[in-house]
Structure 1
Amino acid sequence: MKVSLVGPHADADGRGLAAALSSQGHAVTVYTRRTSAAQPDEWTTGAGYVVRPLTAGEMAVAAPDDELPAMGEFAQRLDAAWTSDRPDVVHADWWTYGIAAQLAANHHDVPTVQTFTAVGSVQRRRQNRDAISENRTRMEKVLARNASWVTASCSEDVDELVRFGRPRGRMSVLGRGVDTEAFTVEGPIASRTERHRVIVVARNLLPHKNIDLLIRAMATVPDAELLVVGGPPRSGLRQHDEACRLHRIAVATAVADRVHFTGAVPTADMPALMRSADVLVCPSAYEPFGVPVVEAMACGVPVVASSVGGMVDTVVHDVTGLLVPSVTPKALGHAVRNVLRQGVLRRGMGLAGRARASSRYGWDRVARDTEVVYDRLLATNAHQVRQPS
């Protein structure tokens, strides 16, 4: 099958899916926006898929939401590329790239899959993300209604897309993949103290992550330390508003000696850091998937997570971890203490988490689930072509 992936696929998710689909024998080409004049017009990766950056707009790295002004030109470039190299299916990620992908694919009568890694209206409502524009929501509604198939990161986002007018029977939940060969039970373990170690991971330290509630909860978990992983580089933590606010809370609750901020940690170092934890906590008000949760499970680490969004799908309560319906310091502290004080339970949850992560969220499994969607679309297209006019 000839597959065109369209989107900000320079990130780990894009590389993982492209590589896994290629390993299953598909001819995969990744189309993304050119961000540097130094990029070649095309190259083949070691994993076997082809990357074709297309010139559209200013050659500079930008957040996907900010690339909208370039998408008209990007759609024209896609249209030209597919005139001579028509794919069997087009799979777009993110709303800005989805607009360009649908415009070009419709011109060539190619079925489209639109992935909603996150739904803007849900993020704005559940995470208090005022910066997410109404324009994005309007365009996401159009994409949801017009794509041949739609995938969402969690069941809650599916409900929102139904409200957009998308038939439930023409979409599916497609979780994001994790590298279950890097994130494993066996391997190096980062240095740690004799205290129990609690970890929370957030690429960006934002208020909706509810790390402040977890810090307050640590007052009720006296024999444990908390590692706050993420944010700016360690050298920039003192100038970071949210990091400073969290530190002040730690001081006010008399746990500052047991709360440590690592700053940004290189991806290669994360498995060892995960393996050093006794429990990972994700108290966020909302995450469409929650990659660190599944990475911790893959390392055999039990999870305490808020009972929202993607965590409801990934964490099996009382099996791979604990889901907390009401995220308060009291509830978080109670859940963390329950996990830490029962060594046998903790190890059992870790083993169950590893089994679930490797069977459900490895890139090979995600690629197989994606392939099922593609096959369904191609079969439907072939049937429609055979119908008499």
Structure 2
Amino acid sequence: MPPRGIAVAGCGIAGLAAALLLHRDGHRVTLFERFDHPRPLGSGLLIQPTGQAVLRALGLEAELVARGAPVTRLVGHAGARCVLDVRYAALKRGGVGIGVHRATLFGILHAPVRASGIAVETGRDITGCRDGRLYFADGTRTERFDLVVDAMGCRSPLVPTTPPLAFGALWADLDWADGFIPNALQQRYRGASVMAGVLPIGTPHHAKAPRAAQFWSLRGDRHADWRATGLAPWKDAVASLWPATAPLLDQIVDPQQLTFASYAHRTLRQPVADRLIHIGDSWHSTSPQLGQGANMALLDAYALALGLRRCRTLGDALGEAIRLRRDQIQLYQLLSRVLTPVYQSDGAAIPWLRDRVMGPVSKLWPFTAVQAALVSGTVGHPLARLGLSE
């Protein structure tokens, strides 16, 4: 396919990766971002072997490994019961997850975008897209592009509004503390309505020593009450569930240190329209239980670039990109819907079964290998479909 003029809407993980891949393939790329200065939102991410493969293809994996933290296990306890113990060693081809601050991954992708000279227009609040043109809140519009890539996430103005899931999470970026497994994502549960977690995220650019992402599950309709009540009662609740978090909690002195993240379940039936394709959370968004969001975004970006390489017409290229990704996306969307109530819900029966049935059974073969494959994102062989090495 000859070079195309492509607008990428959104400077998140999906948008930056897509812009970089398409630019390197010779397309004329312009990035549009609503913030005056592109910046990441959120805290910790777990980059799975699938996401690592895309970064490897971009020549960026080494910096991820240097800045992030290797994660070899996911461990969850409900009281004294170990109800979750996923080990990457159970994977046939091995591998680890990489815990990383979202800002770190943003920087890893943003630096080569800037160095490559890709045009970036900031302060552009997008309100619509028609016939290859983006429309902005100030009444202006762009020239006509051959293709618009919507990478603006689950709240993209170019897709139908989706109500958030009942539960979100509070996130904090803190100095690492003793008392935690250094290469594990650890979680503590009380039923399915109370969950705390600690994820090692390596040493971000803004830090001089290893950091941790601490998170706490919280219903979205209780966030305002949480802010009004103050930090002390919340700290008491976290410490009573997990006393080892005390050194982390001592670092939190201002509610502004905590970011509330909300989530939504949505999959567009048709992610392609005239001169438009949705990727990442704009196409498919889920709860964070399987930790696939950023990884899926990276895979989508690579599939789009591959479709444009393989096909002679734009319609065929977009169809190929969707074909390469649709099966795995549908599978993980289904799994996310099934598993979300297991870890984030107000029910009592499901967490009871989790703790007394699912926990013990999950430690037996072949469930150990199945869990590792699900968490690593390798179910459905998405890398083989894209010609990427595991």
TM-score (norm 2): 0.36
Specify which structure has the bigger relative contact order, considering alpha-carbon pairs within 8 angstroms and separated by 6 or more residues.
2
Which has more strand, going by share of residues? 2
- Of the two, which has the highest radius of gyration? 1
Which has more helix, going by share of residues? 1
